Chains A and B, each alone.
Chain A
Amino acid sequence: MADHGYLMMVLHAHLPFVRHPEYDDFLEEDWLYEAITETYIPLIGMCERLAEDGVPFRLTISLTPTLLSMLADPLLQERYLSHIHRLIELAEKETERTRWQPEFNGTAHMYLNRFRHARWLFADKYHRNLITAFRKFQDLGYLEIITCGATHGYLPLMLNRVAQRAQIAVGVQTHERFLGVKPRGIWLAECGFEPGVDELLRQNGIRFFYIDSHAVFFGSPRPKYGIYAPIYTRGGVAAFGRDVESSKQVWSSKEGYPGDYQYREFYRDIGFDLEYEYIKPYIHGQGFRIPTGIKYYRITGPTDQKEPYHPQAARDKTAEHAGNFMFNRQKQAEFLHGLMGKKPVIVSPYDAELYGHWWYEGPEFLEFLFRKLHYDQNDLRSVTAPEYLAENPTLQVVTPTTSSWGYKGYHEQWLAGPNDWVYRHLHKAVERMVELADSFHHPSYLQRRALNQAGRELLLAQSSDWAFIMKTGTMVEYAVKRTRDHLERFNRLYWDLKNHRVEVDWLSDIEYKDNVFPDLDYKLYAHRA
């Protein structure tokens, strides 16, 4: 056994800002509640256990500014609490209802335990603010928490350095406000990179970021170590390239681990399966069926005849897959080490919500992986980017190519028939925002509020999520509405400011609804050298 390389596990945790105080029950807010129960809390639970057992794991996680803002929002915290209470009530009923069905009863008890644990961890242990938990493991050195553009804006399609800079600067500012330290690294939304962005990162104190493998391979000059060593961009920021092989093992819907027949089937949810009057209090307030999170079947195979889920069998499989993943990385590192004459770094980034929400057993997989890395081998060491860079300060200088990690590797996911109409309006809004910032040097109190809110509305309209949803074709209306709402609010602020007639009641209303980034300063958008 020898020291052959580094493994960098990276999770990108992101949700767009969805918060609708004007409605009692808002479907899209469930994205947050589901992610808290199924992904964020299980990940925190994993950190707790590993830390208690003294496993020196290293995990890089991006907590996007919009996600941080939602996790810290009292209204959403309150709503999550009632959400988890409802789930606990349903799970209690389920443990009774399935009493004569031993094949489901154990799983019903599993849900009840997990939901109760989630409630305890959320409400009692961390007093409703999960950021406290992430921050704790950051301070203990286990988590390297990185930031993202303010609203996950897709930088390459902004065509404007001021707009890109504002996304990055507000991201950094928000990160520091919630996590107490400036972020050292950033996850560029969708790995969307174009040369020049690195300069903006450097100006904002960012030391490293991530790009997809072809961004490195097609970089110029030719990168000596491919994706197995980071590079420095001209802007002097380190870029880590995504490893193809480890990505495929987890991501691929065909070959990936999450498709194993023992794992929980995502699509069979009691929200759709059970008798209507019984399930009605736990589905959408308007009475239409939605998933509840309680699912009793395993993937089983390419069939509609699904077999019952067995948590223990799934857990065994998770351990096996973690062992397989580690074994493959060991072999990969050993081979690369010989080839390169230096230790490779294998960078494995994933959407955090894949773990737990999609792949229910994902958080357990990660926990097994970190335990095995610690106890079972010496070839690989899990590492964060700052640790790697401290040990390997000299890197080749390469300009990566414009790229993303999305469909086909460039911009097509965000620039296609269903969503290309947004850019005309987004670009215009940026132009108007810059105009406002350049023309209001000494705004009144009210004008300043309007100017800052205009910045918020612009940022919210720029979320790459809206264009992404329009392209994927589900929930399209919501994405269209959000884009238009924020742009309309922005435009009204623009005209009201130009005409010196900002209406305080209306402004207060949208400040209350779109209450993200309270410390945003509109002067970010001013032209300057």
Chain B
Amino acid sequence: MEKKKPAPKSVRKPAAPKIAASGAEEKSAVRKKTVTTASASVKKAPAAKSVSRKKAEDSKPLSPVPEAPSTPSVSYSQPQPQYPSPAPEAQPSYWQDRYGDNRIVLMIRDPYWCFVYWDLSAEKQTEAIRELQQAGARLMLRVYDVTDLEFDGSNAHRTMDIEVTEEATNWYINVWAADRAYCVDLGLLYPDGRFVTLARSNVVTTPRDSVSGVIDEEWMVVDETFDRLYQAAGASELGRASEAITKFMLKRVRADVSSGGLASMGSEGGRPRQRRPEDFWLVVNTELIVYGATEPDAAVTIQGQPIRLNPDGTFSVRYALPDGKQTIPVKAVNAAGSQERQITPVVEKRTE
């Protein structure tokens, strides 16, 4: 039976190209800036990872029906060495890196960041490459603020352009504000200022990040009560109303009270904490094995405790051996109870 091997140290990357996540550290800095200036800055995709893949492979829409399946692609075989599949089920590969749809999809990450991924049809891909190479066009994401709008392509409250590399297939976008609706075009920007849309995304609304200004008529909230309720939720330093509450809540959700989730189940979590390399260390323990043999039907005790014999009359017991002197009487009585033998090893352990 095949078994799983221990996970190797290097973690294999999934086949899909990855755009760098914006790290938590960088992000908060960027966020502060954009919130006050209302201009959006963009996390640059690390070209390296995307570029390392062959472009043709990336963009070529797979044959929709894998009639004559080719040998499994590199991407498919990646997880295999760790979890060899006993069944031939996995041949051939039905994995597709890209689908050749002409599509761009916008997702929310939090009140200030969105994520967008796209996939161009073969036709659009060819068009884009031609225009990029021959007409001096640039590949752009155009972000629209379409809050409360019937968006027609030209009536956005605001727009911003983000130039993306030809190889990129996704991007993180630092948007203007929470609780606003956004839409993104992938398109070509020409030197004369023309913008030609290749694909338009869905519309998403970023979550609120502050206390609502809307106070229901029927459920009028007395401000003082309201503030004190939030204080009761743990915000003792609150001086003023919603602004401070908002700040407190945001701090709270970023603090260490989120779900441990599955991480708490991970068996690998049971490994001792890592030591720093300079903390050289040594542990020495001793154990004592007391073993022997007698008639298989005899009754044997060690230090008065009965022990179990193997079918051939042998026995073996193991003890952690602390410092000190141990007197270990081993006594055997035959099945009839008519004869007994006793041997008493004495062991002394010292640590110097």
Contact = CB atoms under 8 A, between A and B. Distances in A.
Given A286-B5, A416-B21, A477-B7, A253 B256 contact: yes
B186 to A, nearest CB: 14
B272 A272 contact: yes
A218 interface: yes
Contacts, number: 330
Interface in B60-89: 64-66, 76, 78-79, 82-83, 85-87, 89
B112 to A, nearest CB: 9
A93 B318 contact: yes
B344 interface: no
A304 B90 CA distance: 46
B265 A480 contact: no
Interface residues of A, number: 129
A375 interface: no
B336 interface: no
Grouping DSSP codes into helix (H, G, I), strand (E, B) and loop, the B interface class, with mixed when no group exceeds half, is loop
A408 interface: yes
Given A96-B318, A336-B232, A401-B207, A222 B1 contact: no
Nearest to A403: B207
B234 A248 contact: yes
Nearest to B110: A410
B163 interface: no
A389 interface: no
Interface string A62-104: 0000000000000000000000000000000100111111001
B7 A469 contact: no
B260 A358 contact: yes
A425 interface: yes
Interface stretch (A114-122, A134-142, A486-494): A486-494
Interface string B296-334: 000000010101000000000111111010100000000
A60 to B, nearest CB: 16
A396 B18 contact: no
A424 B257 contact: no
A475 B266 contact: yes
Contacts of A469: 262-263, 266
Interface residues of B, number: 114
Nearest to A415: B109
Interface stretch (A18-26, A161-169, A178-186): A18-26
Interface of A: 12, 14-16, 22-28, 30-31, 34-35, 93, 96-101, 104, 156-157, 159, 190, 212-214, 217-228, 243-245, 247-248, 251-254, 266-269, 271-272, 275, 278, 284-286, 288, 290-291, 304, 332, 335-336, 339-340, 351, 353-354, 357-358, 396-397, 401-403, 405-413, 415-418, 420-425, 427-428, 465, 468-470, 472-478, 480-481, 483-485, 487-489, 491-492, 495, 498-499, 506, 509-510
Interface of B: 1-7, 11-12, 14-22, 24, 64-66, 76, 78-79, 82-83, 85-87, 89-90, 93-96, 99, 101, 105, 107-111, 113, 115, 117, 119, 170, 179, 202, 205, 207-216, 219-221, 225-226, 228-230, 232-234, 245-246, 249-250, 252-273, 275, 281, 285, 287, 303, 305, 307, 317-322, 324, 326
